Structure 1
Amino acid sequence: MNRKTLVLPAVAGLLAPVLAACGSTTSGGGSGDGIVVGTTDRFEAAEDAPAPFDPAYAYDAGAWNVLRQTVQTLMHVPRGGGAPKPEAAEECLFTDKGNESYRCTLRSGLKFANGDELTAEDVKFSIERVLNIDDDNGPITLLSNIDTVETKGDDQVVFHLKTPDATFPYKLSTPAAGIVDSATYDAKKLRDGFEVDGSGPYTVKPEVRDNRLVRAVFTKNPEYKGDLELRNDKVELRTFADSDEMGRALEAGDIDMMSRTMSPEQIQKLSESPAKGVELVEMPGLEIRYLAFNTADPSVEDKAVRQAMASAVNRNELTSSVYGSTAEPLYSLVPSSIPGHVNSFFNKYGDANVAGARSILRAAGIKTPVKLTLHYTTDHYGSGTAKEFEALGSQLNSTKLFDVTVKGTEWSKFRPAQKRGQYAVYGLGWFPDFPDADNYVAPFLDKDNFLNTPYVSNEIRNKLIPASRRVADRGAAGKTFAKIQDIVAEDVPVLPLWQGKQYVGARDDITGVEWSVNSSADLQLWELGRGVSG
């Protein structure tokens, strides 16, 4: 790797597993038994969400967990974190001092799972397809800094960037830059349904009922050539209605591991008195939860309302009462374990400062109580979300400064409505695309942002984000990120609430569990094997 590529030693050190599962390190690939992993993620093909697994559309942790197994990227973040390494590429590097030109040389002999040859033209096609489709739900913000894509022969591709971006190698490691086959994907239209064709470590066979995925069977791709080592031949991802049903399946031995999303009660039970043959594995996590605002909505258009909410919320009570030790209060968009973090919201508002909230509203001439509806999704982040929003509503109502109603909606309807601006206040979670402060800022505040927010800070968008990306040493970008976080605390387009840990429950004969989910909450199913119960 070129020296200009990011190196994050502080973050890499955080990614060591806390508790390894028992069992031998014997690969499960030779046993012939598929490993079954449970999830409460729901995948639905609907009018507003027709293409759940198209890289030009998919931009949520659940869908990316499918794509990371099947669609290859030029780069990938290694199992312990740190700087990205070549995956479909043999070598990638910046070719200029300004971090504006990035060249990748492909591995020889790459093929898609269907046997079609994979060349630099396929990479160009895939990246330009995301940019050309420009879907409102999609991950275009990760690639929008690309000016042109150039190929040199069959094995070299050069990305010319509009502005310097030291984080670009990370962006090429995400499914947004997944390589797809032009023979099965349209250059200008999404591919509806659940089929995925790629060159990744697995092929996938989806089982669908009533336009919803109920299971996805991943089978080792014999054509795969990349940097990943597969420890199994087959893994099944099975969906469950809720965490309780998933937990019962694990205890009964119907599944081998459960991941997203375990309830706080399950985590506590497995920690204190696990069922026979079942273990709990804790691993570092970088997930955050937050409230976001449609700043053009009359109810929250005045930033004094948003500031008062930031002052009144009691994060300590919220995390302890709903999530216990599995979450901790967060006072910035950037979590505490990421270089560049500062407690901007605490510094400005404190915590549970009702008197401060009252003063803010009085000074702005806002009539109280302020009527608001807090919207949340019922089926995307786990069973704790409903309790969390009930607690938030109660907190705000108890101040007498707000008159809050709480409303839950399933994800397939929630996300499109949020993007259309139908909610004034809504709750979301964020699992980072890559572990850098940039990825907790740009997706919310840059052009083509994930929230489709009307809020614009010209200083953040036109000055501070570009300045931070010119710095190859990410620790040295901390002052710039501190300024961004202070502006966010002043304007409150989003209100950070908490950051969480990650837990996985697994049968004790499954090996590699400690590596099966990285800090960004990405499933790495190739790490799992079947060993001997310990």
Structure 2
Amino acid sequence: MQVRRLAAWAALPLAVTLGLTACGKSGGDSGSANQNGVVSIGISEPQFLSPANTSETGGSQVLSALFAPLVDFDEANKPFEVAAQEITTTDNKTWTVKLKDGWTFHNGEPVTADSYINAWNYAAYGPNAAKNNYFFDKIEGFKALNPADAATKPETSTLTGLKKVDDKTFTVTLSAPFSEFKALLGYTAFYPLPKAAWESDTAAPLVLKKDFQEAPIGNGPFKIKGTWQHDSQVEVEKYDAFAGTKPHIGGALFKIYQNSDAEYADLLANNLDVVKQIPTESLSTVQGDLGDRFQQSPSSSFTFLAFPTFDPRFKDVDVRKAISMAIDREEIANKIFQGSQKAAYSFTSPVVAGYRDKTCGTACEFNPTEAKSLYEKSKGPKELNISYNADGPHKQWVEATCNQLKTNLGVECVATPEPKFADLLTKVEKKEDVGMFRLGWAFDYPSMENYLGPLYSTGGSSNYYGYSNPEFDSLVKAGTEAPTTDEAIKKYQEAEDILAKDLPVLPLRFGQNVFGHSTKVKNVAIDLFTRVDLNKIESVG
């Protein structure tokens, strides 16, 4: 999700199997629940608060309160209907979505088929430059909305694959069969939007109101209270007319932090209810600090180091390979993360079907002698820097990585902080000099494809480094169109093998949710998408 995707905080230990537990749960049954209580949750500053554009965990945590998805996922990672009554297909190409009755937006508007069709057309329309545009590329008509020449205005503004049947039913025709399409519909980009979101709901193409994301109107269990207070907070309150599963709290206050240590200090002082990621520096003391209020649960998160393709210093794959071999992943996992971290040697997470260990091969094996020889032979740069977001717990491990590169390659290396994750992404998008940069990913839906397509496909929604390989794209496409899961996985694995040769990024670690909560809440759970489950958490007293 629906948090998934690029994560400001992802630097986490791994749960090796989903069999450990589907989601962490803490707080027991002590204390009486307060149905009107407001819980506070720490997040990073969102980059956006609109379904078409939100692709990082801070904004997605907020949107998961304001919107309800068509589907969510059970403990076996299988999608089940939420806002949808049923989603059916006979050929994996044409899908029929029937909505539940009685659902409304926070302004009282009914949720209809048009609510989805309009929102999806807006996100898919190329000139809108939506961050999540990529996720609609499987729907028939996408190419017409996204000409190869971005300067060319599309002749149409709607997807031919979207057809309204009646107010509660619509069909989605894909350009090719995709067996996992139902799971894809759990992603943030597929939330509906009300008529009130548009400058005019009859104009074509639709234009989103400029201030809509300051106070989004959703169909979820909570409605926004006031407006988004940038760099400070977003507050939501229970929407009494919500037709789905009712939460056990009266609202949530998403407190925005630029510094993870300050966030943790607020937790220790009982001024914050949930910290989704314990700072690295506090892992050695957290058990004593929080006792049984310190929790761990499986996560889909994946931390990696990216090379901007626009930077000529990293054009040679041997330079990238040498840097990779100079990093001792196990040492950082054991010393920085107190042995709770799992070093990553593959490009997809162990929590998804089709995962294989050590697909990165020798390029990810620690070999300082070979690394230095290769680096010198390929004339790697004498100075390196690694950019990271300071609103996440990354300083210590990034500096440790830089120290390894200094020692093992004989170069200068500087850890360069950016105040906010949104700032780092914006700089990369503008092709500003950031050097190497850390990124974290949590899946949007449980599939190998979700680690491959968005991150590495040409024009992928979160391909911030500009990687492009037609053979890779072709294999991912073949996987999505495969008639069976086993056949799809085979193609995805072949695509992953290409990444091992090209090394557009360096796998570093797989993660686990490592979180803590105050004495004022119970039943705290964080799922595989690094999202606090707002349907489970309770306020005490």
TM-score range, shorter chain: 0.7 to 0.9
Compute the displacement of 1:401 (Å): 5.0
For residue 461 of structure 1, what is the amino acid of its counterpart? D
Amino acid corresponding to residue 178 of structure 1 in structure 2: Y
Rate the CA distance shift 1:455–1:118 in 2: closer, same or farther, 3 A. Answer: same
Are positions 1:388 and 2:397 aligned together? yes
Letter in 2 for 1:188: V
The yes-or-no answer on 1:288 pairing with 2:299 is no
Encode CA deviations 1:62-106: one digit per residue, 9 max, x unaligned. Answer: 10001111122222223x35211111110012232xx11111101
User: Could you tell me whether the CA contact under 8 Å between 1:39 and 1:237 is conserved in 2?
Assistant: yes
Q: In the alignment, which residue of structure 2 is the partner of 1:23?
A: 29
Indicate the larger mover: 468-477 or 425-434: 468-477
Contact 1:73–1:172 under 8 Å retained in 2: yes
**Structure 1 unaligned residues grouped into runs of 5+:** 1-9, 44-48
Contact 2:221/2:247 (<8 A) preserved: yes
Match of 2:284 in 1: 268
Query: Quick check: 2:313–2:381 contact (8 Å CA) kept in 1?
Result: no
- Name the CA distance, whole Å, in 2 between partners of 1:507 and 1:174: 30
Task: Say whether the 8 Å CA contact 1:11–1:82 is kept in structure 2.
Answer: no
Cα distance between partner residues in 2 of 1:167 and 1:415:
29
Q: Distance in 2 between matches of 1:242 and 1:40?
A: 10
- Cα distance, 1:303 vs structure 2: 1.1
Structure 1 match to 2:431: 421
2:422 paired residue number? 412
Asked whether the 8 Å contact 1:322–1:387 carries over to 2, the reply is yes
Instruction: State the Cα distance separating 1:291 from its structure 2 match.
Output: 1.0
CA 123–134 in structure 1, closer or farther in 2 if over 3 Å, else same? same
Contact 1:287–1:520 (8 Å) recurs in 2: yes
Q: Write the distance in 1 (CA, Å) between the matches of 2:98 and 2:414.
A: 55
Matching residue within 220, 227, 230 for 2:247: 230
Alpha carbons 2:304, 2:508 under 8 Å: kept = yes
Structure 2 counterpart of 1:121 = 114
Specify the alignment match of 2:352 in structure 1: 338
- The residue correspondences of 1:131-280 to structure 2 (distance < 5 A) are 131-132=124-125, 138-147=131-140, 148-186=161-199, 187-189=206-208, 191-192=210-211, 193-206=213-226, 212-226=230-244, 228-255=245-272, 257-274=273-290, 279-280=293-294
- 1:63/1:81 Cα in 2 relative to 1: closer, same or farther (>3 Å)? farther
- Counterpart of 2:378 (choices 342, 359, 366) is 366
Q: What is the correspondence of 1:486-497 to structure 2 with a 5 Å cutoff?
A: 486-497=497-508
Using the alignment, how far apart are the partners of 2:540 and 2:76 within structure 1?
25
The reply on whether 1:93 has 2:107 as its aligned counterpart is: no
1:149–1:160 contact (8 Å) kept in structure 2: yes
Contact 2:361–2:500, Cα closer than 8 Å, also in 1 = no
Cα distance, 1:154 vs structure 2: 0.7
Does 1:356 pair with 2:387? no
Shift of 1:241: 4.1
The corresponding residue for 1:6 is: none
Deviations 1:373-412 (A, max 9, x none): 3222222xx23x1112211111111123544333221233
Residues of 1 paired with 2:265 and 2:89: CA distance?
50
Pairing partner for 1:458 from 470, 474, 477: 470
Distance apart, 1:171 and its partner CA: 1.9
Cα pair 1:105 1:155 within 8 Å, conserved:
yes
Deviation of 1:15 after TM superposition, in Å, equals 4.3
Gaps of at least 5 residues in structure 2 are 1-15, 141-160, 200-205
Give the SS at the match of 2:267: helix
Please provide the CA RMSD for this pair. Answer: 2.6
Contact 2:323/2:375, CA 8 A, preserved across alignment: no
Whole-angstrom CA distance in 2 between matches of 1:149 and 1:218: 32
C-alpha contact 1:133 1:188 (8 A) present in aligned 2: no
TM-score, with length taken from structure 2: 0.85
Question: Does the 8 Å contact 1:330/1:496 carry over to 2?
Answer: yes
Q: Distance in 1 between matches of 2:321 and 2:112?
A: 52
Instruction: Report the number of matched residues.
Output: 496
| Matching residue of 2:148 | none
Q: 1:233 to 1:288 in 2, by over 3 A?
A: same
Deviates more, 1:146-155 or 1:408-417: 408-417
Letter paired with 2:404: Q
**SS of equivalent to 1:393:** helix
